[in-house]
Chains A and B, each alone.
Chain A
């Protein structure tokens, strides 16, 4: 014991204490240095799961369209476009259902099981899908995946002969970048709207007459990703339920969101991802053409209910 103690005392502990402190500072500085697309998510929020309740004002009544009604509480669910790659089978099924000649794979950060397919070229399962469907499905979570990159480079995009491969990174905020082509090809961080990407998309689109192009694939072809977990936690005024519970809305499928107010409130409408507020039934039907984003059910206090005067009913939430 004495020897260990003596040994430890022989170390320069100033250095060992300085090391993590310096690492934190340099790490934060480095995070600010890199492009916003590559920065960490300080919120720490895992993607796709939305779980929040907004506080509200005391006043009652509804605001005009596009504004949030006052004295209302909202329960919400999250809808995102793209492929939920944690469910590889669902993604491939979605692509198959859409009869896509082109597949653009999208990855969601935080997906625990998708990374196995990062170098899917040599993956037998993926090869089988490729053979069956006639397209490649390549994903990468790496920004410097040389194997994927070489494979993509070898694809006959310029010859306009399918199949084509693209690897997207779909961030939680909905931003898309080509980061997975990335470093070596000089395409790192190229946004989907860039001329380079547009050229690539057009080349893809033009290659298959009448077929959806890459942009279509990206936007619509693979269905709509719905929040993998339905938020069932009780909100201040009510809750939203999704039926059927599904990871992906395939083309032709429908998902019904049902807003259920509690005893102290009543349903007041839906707020769409673009901010538009729509009156209507507590049931909202979504299909693969729906807006991606957060759908919020708006509940407002039931005036006739005395209990609703409690702070909780005023939208403090639980």
Chain B
């Protein structure tokens, strides 16, 4: 039986690959600085004044590693949708934290990528960025393919009948 390539499948494959690369790399980058300095990240978490002081330590060590694992899942595993689900949960948490900090007028650094940023309205920027990140995350959650990121085999390209 002759089968032809589906442009729709090719487009999905490209989008899937690009978004996974982007999100994965971003999470790895984000996690890296936090992993190097968990104490600093704890301080940043603490600055949000959202969690009880006794929980910031475990949150800091866990969140940085969760970001690393999610980034690795995007890049090195087949669990695209699971990674997208975890990403969505984390981004939702970030948005809530940023929004409450902004609402309370906390003069803090986002700490999203470990290092501080110098924009005066960086919390708002971070919220907008996180909301924007939800778009590819939801797309991957709904349309993500359970495949290795380097798997461009015919299975994915051929039109399904």
Interface on A for B, CB 8 Å cutoff?
7, 10-12, 15-16, 19-20, 22-24, 26-28, 30-31, 34, 37-46, 109-113, 115-116, 118-119, 122, 140-147, 179, 183
Contacts and interface: CB of A to CB of B under 8 A. Distances in A.
Interface stretch (B6-14, B20-28, B40-48): B40-48
Interface string B38-72: 11111110110100111111101111111011100
Contact of B66 (A20, A40, A109): A20
Interface of B: 33, 35-44, 46-47, 49, 52-58, 60-66, 68-70, 73, 79, 81-82, 85-86, 106-109, 114-118, 120, 142
A31 B82 CA distance: 26
A7 B66 CA distance: 23
B82 to A, nearest CB: 5
A144 B111 CA distance: 12
Nearest to B53: A44
A141 B109 contact: yes
Contact of A30 (B35, B57, B82): B35
Top 8 closest A-B pairs, CB basis? Answer: A27-B61, A44-B54, A119-B118, A115-B109, A23-B66, A142-B115, A40-B57, A27-B65
B66 A144 contact: no
A37 to B, nearest CB: 7
Nearest to B120: A116
A41 B54 CA distance: 9
B37 A34 contact: yes
A146 B116 CA distance: 10
B36 A38 contact: yes
A144 B33 contact: yes
Nearest to A86: B107
B37 to A, nearest CB: 5
A23 B37 contact: no
Contacts of B61: 24, 27-28, 30-31, 40
